[in-house]
Structure 1
Amino acid sequence: MHWYLDVLKKYATFNGRARRQEYWMFALINVIIAVALLVVDASLLGTGVIVPVYELAVLLPSLAVGVRRLHDTGRSGWWMLIAFVPLVGGIVLLVFLASDSKPETSEYGPSPKLAGTAA
């Protein structure tokens, strides 16, 4: 759960790097929360409003951690826009987000993977 809270603490931080584990744990917990809210909303309220409001609330942190993840792979955050390319854009972005980190220091900062092992 700390992965999710760490991303929320960096609400609109688009600079720096995010490890693969940080990105995917945030994505997993985000999906679990959205499904739980969907079930609660469908069973109790039936309005279908709770999940869109939640997703809107976490939109900026989701974009920020995605950009930081791309920085960790040595790519610019502008590569997020490739998702708008029909058919292949989402697949290419998925491959980029699943790629391993660049171990060396880049213009986006030092590798968080190496910083985590040194401590």
Structure 2
Amino acid sequence: MDYAKLLFGFEGRATRLTYWRLQVMLTAVGAALVILASFGTIVGGWLGAVPLAFIPPLLLTSLSITVRRLHDRGKGALWAILFIVGPWALVAPARTLEHGANPLLILGALLLALGGLALGAWAWIEIGFLRGVRGANRFGPSPSDLRPGDFFKVETAR
């Protein structure tokens, strides 16, 4: 099994099962790194933050599996940018309002924030729960079914 393609490859397709397995693993490893860095800084000062250097590769792996999952749905990598940046961009105006702001600004910011929430929910459903395109698509052949004993499967175009 090619773990470099599994963790950092942006080509090919990924099943829902592969996506969720990797996301759960990445979340657990990320949480462990943050806890380790927190205790490490308490005990050893700023050198305890060294485990946080492993967070960027975790984020890159999360992005790569998200892109491959979108490929399985027949969508390109630009959808990942929309699904990641879009909700934050729509919620941001609400975070900049000060107490006692104009009610129309508050209403507009609320509507944008609700749009960001809707976009985030759509992304979550689209990436994590909807079935991929059956058969081959422009991103490669359909991912193979997992065999018993396979934990991760690299589904890349051959």
TM bucket (normalised to shorter chain) is: 0.7 to 0.9
- Whether 2:13 is the aligned partner of 1:13: answer no
Count how many residue pairs are aligned between Structure 1 and Structure 2: 111
| 8 Å contact from structure 1 (residues 103, 113) kept in 2 | no
- Where does the alignment leave 5 or more consecutive residues of structure 2 unmatched? 91-115, 148-158
- Where does the alignment leave 5 or more consecutive residues of structure 1 unmatched? none
- Whether 2:132 is the aligned partner of 1:101: answer yes
| 8 Å contact from structure 1 (residues 17, 72) kept in 2 | yes
State which of 26, 30, 33 in structure 1 corresponds to 2:29.
33
Q: CA deviation at 1:32?
A: 0.6
Indicate the RMSD between aligned Cα atoms, in angstroms: 2.4
Q: Which runs of 4+ in 1 moved over 4 A?
A: none
Q: Percent identity?
A: 26
SS of 2:141's equivalent? coil
**2-structure distance, mates of 1:78, 1:108:** 14
Q: TM-score, normalised by structure 2?
A: 0.60
**1-structure distance, mates of 2:63, 2:34:** 22
- 1:24 is aligned to 20
**1-structure distance, mates of 2:49, 2:122:** 31
Q: CA deviation at 1:27?
A: 0.8
- Whether 2:57 is the aligned partner of 1:57: answer yes
| 8 Å contact from structure 1 (residues 19, 69) kept in 2 | yes
**1-structure distance, mates of 2:27, 2:50:** 14
Alpha-carbon spacing, 1:106–1:15, altered in 2? closer, same or farther (3 Å): same
Larger relative contact order, structure 1 or 2 (CA cutoff 8 Å, min sep 6): 2
| 8 Å contact from structure 1 (residues 104, 111) kept in 2 | yes
Q: CA deviation at 1:61?
A: 2.3
State which of 81, 86, 91 in structure 1 corresponds to 2:121.
91
Q: TM-score, normalised by structure 1?
A: 0.76
Bigger radius of gyration among the two: 2
